[in-house]
Amino acid sequence: MASYEGASWRNSMRVRFDFSNLLAGVVGDENGVSEQALRGLTGQAAAAAKWLQQLRAGGKAEWLDLPYQREITERVVAAGEAIAQRCDTFVVLGIGGSALGAIALQIALHHPFYNQLGPEQRGHRPRIYVLDNVDPDFVAGALDLLDLKHTVFNVVTKSGSTSETMAQLAIVRERLQSAVGSVAAEQIVATTDPSQGDLRTLAEREGYRIFDIPPTVGGRFSVLSPVGLLPAAVSGVDVNALLAGAAEADRYCRDDDLFDNPALLSAASLYLLDQQGKRITVMMPYSQRLCGVADWFRQLWAESLGKIKMVDGTVRHIGLTPVTALGVTDQHSQVQLYMDGPSDKVIIFLGVDRFDRTLKIPSTKLGLASLDYLGGHSLNELINAERLATTVALTANGRPNYTILLPEVNAFTVGQVLYTLEVQTALIGKLLGIDPFNQPGVEAGKAATYALMGRKGYEAEAKRIAKQMGGNRWIL
């Protein structure tokens, strides 16, 4: 029996949420949410929770069911093993939601210097790179590292047409063909829409292995689909534990009682605080391993909530601005702003009870005040004391914040965090009255790129852009 199947282990690995520092009684009436305001929102919050479960029941939010896709998971795990045997490097080509989940999982669930470790220390798993930009120096630099004969590429694009990913694919495909000839297709895996898009067409034509992204799973909600799971499985992450963690969170994120559902309570609180002018959401993990989760959340929050139109068609510019910070590093930069700058932020701390490693500070006394008090403690104690210190100082200054506490960073706890944050994002979207699942602004940027790069069908857009740019003048 896997450890996550045992109830007592699961209980000991439950992620905990401490919302007390959001309350007006703690941070002051102007800065916090009052119990009365929360109680006033219970009906609307319950309706939001019901709406989400109804979407799910109607097959329109398949991302909520990803923890239970047993057949897909088995295929992903089997492919992950087979790919790991045949290559020493696995490269993901994708951008936005097609990259950030994979990055978050790699950073959270591996040695911090995984790619630099020798094959034995990596458990004979491939090195993993995610190329989520088209900066030529970056992409060419990555290609310099690769032995193409022993590299597998995973092209990930839901639309099957995003210019960045398709450009990378074109480059890689040709280089692979030169390097390995007719077997090039065996070294490309496509993750894309089940029935449409140019990547699908090419993959079928050339015989790539293909993984489907379910139709109603958008990029930023796809981390638990093959988009995130395949790179994770290739590198040896226990994807079943990850999904079990997400299923655990599903149990506590379905409730329509605000006070029993952490995703709903955080969505409701952040919604109320947004109305009080606290429009910036800072995610600050006190764990280097969770910095990728914060980056992933930044995209989820920004792209889901930043909208011009309400669902009823009213034009209003809505959105909470996500910012990431890293504890303790950013205690020496951004925390000054959070303490004393404008009171327009809510800080979400991600804390970790037990780190995998313990690093003791030697207790040798050197007769120096700045060293002697540290002796005998550990870096584990220091990082958590600093998290607590920042929380206490911000709270005393009337800066609302809350803490998501992971007992450990492992696949099961990370699965809970990712799932909870996805549900929280969908729910606050509903409370804000917008559609959290579309991204017209991002699509507009994609269309403008197609036009500027001469894609067929975008001639009118190209003309419009040329006209718009006609008046631009560089100052140098």
Q: In the bound complex, which residue of the shown chain has the CB atom lying closest to ligand PA5?
A: 219
Site string for ligand PA5, 381-410 (x = CB under 6 A): ------------------------------
DSSP 6-26: SHHHHHHT--EEE-GGGBHHH
- 62 near ligand PA5, judged by CB under 6 A: no
User: Is 149 a known active-site residue?
Assistant: no
Instruction: Report the SS3 class of residue 438.
Output: coil
16-18 and 401-406 beta bridge pairing: antiparallel
- 442 near ligand PA5, judged by CB under 6 A: yes
- 97 near ligand PA5, judged by CB under 6 A: yes
Distance CA 122, CA 100 (A): 22
Sheet containing 280-285: order of strands = 16-18, 401-406, 345-352, 280-285, 321-324
Q: Least distance to ligand PA5 from the beta carbon of 446, Å?
A: 7
Q: Least distance to ligand PA5 from the beta carbon of 168, Å?
A: 11
- 225 near ligand PA5, judged by CB under 6 A: no
The answer to whether the bond into 328 is cis (omega within 30° of 0) is yes
Q: Least distance to ligand PA5 from the beta carbon of 206, Å?
A: 19
Would you tell me the crossing angle of helices 70-86 and 239-253 to the nearest 10 degrees?
A: 150
Name the nearest CA neighbour of 302 among 291, 310, 294.
Answer: 294
Helix (H) or strand (E) holding 165: helix 163-180
Q: Which of 151, 157, 287, 384 binds ligand PA5 (CB under 6 A)?
A: 157
User: Is 446 a known active-site residue?
Assistant: yes
Shorter beta-carbon distance to ligand PA5: residue 220 or 399? 220
Q: Which residues, 163 to 202, sit near ligand PA5 by CB under 6 A? A: 165
Q: Which stretch binds ligand PA5 (CB under 6 A): 23-31, 76-84, 151-159, 418-426?
A: 151-159
Q: Which stretch binds ligand PA5 (CB under 6 A): 119-127, 217-225, 328-336, 344-352?
A: 217-225
**Which listed residue (71, 120, 317, 332) is catalytic?**
332
Q: Least distance to ligand PA5 from the beta carbon of 79, Å?
A: 19
Distance CA 436, CA 218 (A): 10
Q: Least distance to ligand PA5 from the beta carbon of 299, Å?
A: 6
Distance CA 157, CA 203 (A): 12
Alpha helices in 283-378 (DSSP H): 291-305, 334-340, 369-372
Q: Which of 62, 303, 330, 422 binds ligand PA5 (CB under 6 A)?
A: 303
127-131 and 321-324 beta bridge pairing: unpaired
Where do contacts with ligand PA5 occur on this chain (CB under 6 A)?
95-98, 157-159, 162, 165, 218-220, 303, 439, 442
Residues designated as active site: 303, 332, 446
